[in-house]
Amino acid sequence: MAPLEAVDLIRRKRDGGKLDAAAIEALVGAYARDEVPDYQMSALLMAVFFRGLDAEETRALTKAMVDSGERLDLGDLGRPTVDKHSTGGVGDKVSLVLAPLLASLGAAVPQLSGRGLGHTGGTLDKLEAIKGFRSDLSAEEMRRVLREAGCVICAAGPSLAPADRRLYRLRDVTATVDCIPLIASSIMSKKIAEGTSCLVLDVKVGRGAFMAGEEDARRLAETMVALGTEHGVKTSALLTRMDEPLGRAVGNAVEVAESLETLAGKGPADLVEVTRALAEEMLRLAGLDLPRGEVAAALEDGRALERFSAMVRAQGGDPGADLPEAPFRRELAAGSSGYVARLDALAVGTAAWRLGAGRAKKEDDVSAAAGVLCLRKRGEKVEKGEPVLELRTEDEARFEGALGALAGAVDIRPDGEPARSRVIGVIRP
Ligand code: URA
């Protein structure tokens, strides 16, 4: 694309005009081939940030990013393929439980996941706390694991939506990430390219989530459901609360341990609720009509746990190996007696990050053992001086920063409130 053509598109969007599909596809294709410089793409992204994209433009952008790489065909697996994507939260280890659970119920689950950045954790960082586990698989390895275990959790390879990979990196350094059409097309281009036939989105709402408000989260969910449907992927979304951490563990190894408990039928109520709601929606989309109670039964009778071990082994990991343990631990005690009324997800996520569980830059290593355990959660009784949180780290110097993040993170009130459902609603085409 000639530089002047790109200038025309930037000007049109800057002035609030509409870009036609052919122009978007040509521009994104040229950017993926390195024929459009970052400074022009940055200007366009900022114009999009302020002016937005309508449904047709968002569809064209998504298609252009899918078409910039290969689209996997998983039609030969002999099982319905169904995936889940979460917009990310604190303590969100649902994928670790859900993928093997669905595999144990007859679906094939090709789950492409990411690494943590900032206060939200990444599924791959969690799984890599297991000795030997490999997330970087070729397309052929991904298929082999899917055939052997029924599910695979791995990184998106460089051949899937490469234009998104370049654009996402640019958005990260030009303050253009938090823009609904850009987020929706970025997420959906990878999910469409991975070849799943069904997809359930878990769009988190609240202080620990990308979208703090329900209205924005709903708009993001509706945009993604429409994009999936238009590209032939049966898609629906659940809106779920992310005001406090999901489950009790926040970190990497500690979340694997909690996932194993959940796969053995002993998970915390909120994690089980969200996992079961997503599983039921995935089964519905996949057309797997199972007797009532099968989802709970697969968690309780060891079927899902057995699939998890098979997946870990197929990806080079040792499901029997001890998980790393942090040498330094410190507790945060309740300042008064009563019931926990609020446990701030963002503060707990930031504390776990500062303890070493997350990274500040993409290249950073994470600590497998660091994290936070929520010993009391919303609605639970606590006496003054009893521990509410346990902080774990491999580097004692990190406690100070983590404790700083937790100032004001816990409210204790004299009266308890009943537990709230984490599931706010379902969005279908
Ligand atoms: N995750 C993505 O893959 N893309 C976004 O734009 C935001 C979150």
The CATH number that applies at residue 29 is 1.20.970.10
Domain end marker among 314, 341, 366: 314
- Return the residue whose CA atom lies nearest to atom 2 of ligand 1: 187
According to the model, what pLDDT value does residue 364 have?
Answer: 79
> Is residue 247 domain-shared with residue 140, that is, in the same domain?
yes
Q: Whole-angstrom Cα distance, residue 217 to residue 344?
A: 19
Average pLDDT, the chain: 95
- Mutation probe of ligand 1 site: the residue of 48, 62, 168, 211 with most atoms within 8 A of C-beta: 168
> Is residue 207 domain-shared with residue 292, that is, in the same domain?
yes
363, 411 Cβ separation under 8 angstroms: no
> Is residue 304 domain-shared with residue 347, that is, in the same domain?
no
Residues with Cβ within 8 Å of residue 266, at least 6 apart in sequence: none
Q: What is the 170 CA–ligand 1 centroid distance (Å)?
A: 12
According to the model, what pLDDT value does residue 211 have?
Answer: 86
> Is residue 261 domain-shared with residue 148, that is, in the same domain?
yes
Annotated active-site residue 126? The verdict is: no
- Return the residue whose CA atom lies nearest to atom 5 of ligand 1: 183
Question: Residue 398's CB: how many other CB atoms inside 10 A?
Answer: 19
SS3 of the chain: helix, strand, coil, percent, to 5: 45, 15, 40
Tokens 């991904």 belong to residue:
142
Residues with Cβ within 8 Å of residue 143, at least 6 apart in sequence: 74, 77
According to the model, what pLDDT value does residue 117 have?
Answer: 67
- Tens-place pLDDT, residues 223-273: 999 999 999 999 999 999 999 999 999 999 999 999 999 999 999 999 999
Does residue 77 form part of some domain? no
According to the model, what pLDDT value does residue 173 have?
Answer: 86
β 198-205/338-343 pair status: unpaired
β 410-413/82-86 pair status: unpaired
> Is residue 92 domain-shared with residue 14, that is, in the same domain?
no
Tokens of 421: 């459902």
- Return the residue whose CA atom lies nearest to atom 8 of ligand 1: 183
> Is residue 332 domain-shared with residue 309, that is, in the same domain?
no
Q: Which residue segment(s) compose the domain that 373 sits in?
A: 328-413
β 234-241/423-427 pair status: antiparallel
Tokens of 49: 């940030």
Q: Whole-angstrom Cα distance, residue 122 to residue 40?
A: 31
Does residue 65 form part of some domain? no
Backbone φ and ψ for 71, nearest 5 degrees, come out as: -115, 115
pTM: 0.95
β 249-251/234-241 pair status: unpaired
Does 196 contact ligand 1 (Cβ within 6 A)? no
Does 168 contact ligand 1 (Cβ within 6 A)? yes
Question: Residue 341's CB: how many other CB atoms inside 10 A?
Answer: 15
> Is residue 390 domain-shared with residue 277, that is, in the same domain?
no
Count of domains observed in the chain:
3
231, 62 Cβ separation under 8 angstroms: yes
Q: Whole-angstrom Cα distance, residue 192 to residue 195?
A: 6
Annotated active-site residue 362? The verdict is: no
Which residues partner with 82 through β-bridges? 198
> Is residue 203 domain-shared with residue 338, that is, in the same domain?
no
> Is residue 282 domain-shared with residue 370, that is, in the same domain?
no
- Return the residue whose CA atom lies nearest to atom 3 of ligand 1: 187
Domain end marker among 283, 314, 345: 314
> Is residue 309 domain-shared with residue 333, that is, in the same domain?
no
Does 145 contact ligand 1 (Cβ within 6 A)? no
Q: What is the 359 CA–ligand 1 centroid distance (Å)?
A: 17
Does residue 58 form part of some domain? no
Residues of the chain with pLDDT under 70: 117-118
